């Protein structure tokens, strides 16, 4: 179908040009740090929690501005599910999770295993496992443990590490990846 408006452009030509631009602009692992800083016109977070049965699919950043209502929704979703306590979750970690998800080109939402942890919950978990840090960034709302069925922990960790914006822990045996906005570091392979 041709659009004869006199402009010399066809609908097919415009769509082809748009598709080529979209492919050329698609983020790769090599430019992840730039993607995190200038991640496009929107940023989105898609997750579900097997613990609470809740889901979230929200656009929390539009054209350079964070959306307050969406951030509040994320704070509630990321709460300590054991006691219902919530804090203002660190937007830097939201950005890391969103950027890694987008870099993997995953359509499914993350499964949230652990977001914010109250000091009481962290102490209880520490008493049961040597793998729980005394001063865990989970207690500051700066960390999340995540899983994707469609991606391996190696793929998830590689995407998160390519953001060069925080800590990434790969727990292949438990099938999850820890992402945080603390110092840049990685563990678990």
Summarize pLDDT for 130-185 with one digit per residue, the tens.
Answer: 778 888 999 999 999 999 999 999 999 999 999 999 999 999 999 999 999 999 99
Q: What number of other Cβ atoms are within 10 A of residue 106's Cβ? A: 18
Q: Which residues pair with 62 in a beta bridge?
A: 42, 65
Selection from 90, 94, 92, 103 nearest residue 158 by Cα: 103
Helix, strand, or coil (residue 171)? strand
| Region 107-113 average pLDDT | 96
Q: How confident is the model at residue 29 (pLDDT cuts 50, 70, 90)?
A: very low
| Single pTM value for the model | 0.78
Residue 35, pLDDT > 80, answer no
| DSSP labels, 59-120 | EEEETTEE-HHHHHHHHHHTS-TTT-------HHHHHHHHHHHHHTT--SPEEEEE----HH
| Region 5-19 average pLDDT | 42
- Residues 113-126 have pLDDT tens digits of 999 999 999 999 88
Q: In the chain, what are the domains?
A: 31-187 (3.30.1380.10)
Between these two residues, 153 and 1, which has the higher pLDDT value? 153
């Amino acid at each position: 179908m041709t659009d004869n408006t006199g402009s010399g452009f066809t609908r097919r030509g415009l769509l082809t040009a748009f598709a080529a631009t979209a492919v050329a602009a698609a983020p790769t692992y090599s430019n992840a740090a730039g993607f995190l800083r200038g991640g496009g016109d929107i940023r989105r977070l898609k997750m579900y929690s097997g613990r609470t049965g809740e889901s979230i699919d929200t656009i929390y950043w539009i054209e350079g501005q964070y959306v307050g209502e969406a951030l509040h929704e994320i704070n509630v979703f990321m709460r300590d599910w054991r006691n219902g306590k919530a804090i203002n979750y660190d937007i830097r970690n939201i950005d890391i999770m969103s950027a890694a998800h987008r870099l993997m080109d995953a359509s499914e939402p993350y499964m949230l295993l652990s977001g914010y942890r109250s000091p009481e919950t962290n102490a209880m978990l520490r008493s049961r496992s040597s793998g729980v840090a005394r001063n865990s960034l989970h207690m500051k709302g700066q960390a999340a443990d995540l899983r994707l069925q469609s991606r391996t922990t190696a793929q998830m960790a590689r995407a998160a590490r390519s953001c060069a914006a925080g800590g990434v822990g790969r727990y292949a045996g438990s099938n999850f990846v820890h992402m945080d906005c603390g110092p840049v570091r990685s563990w678990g392979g």
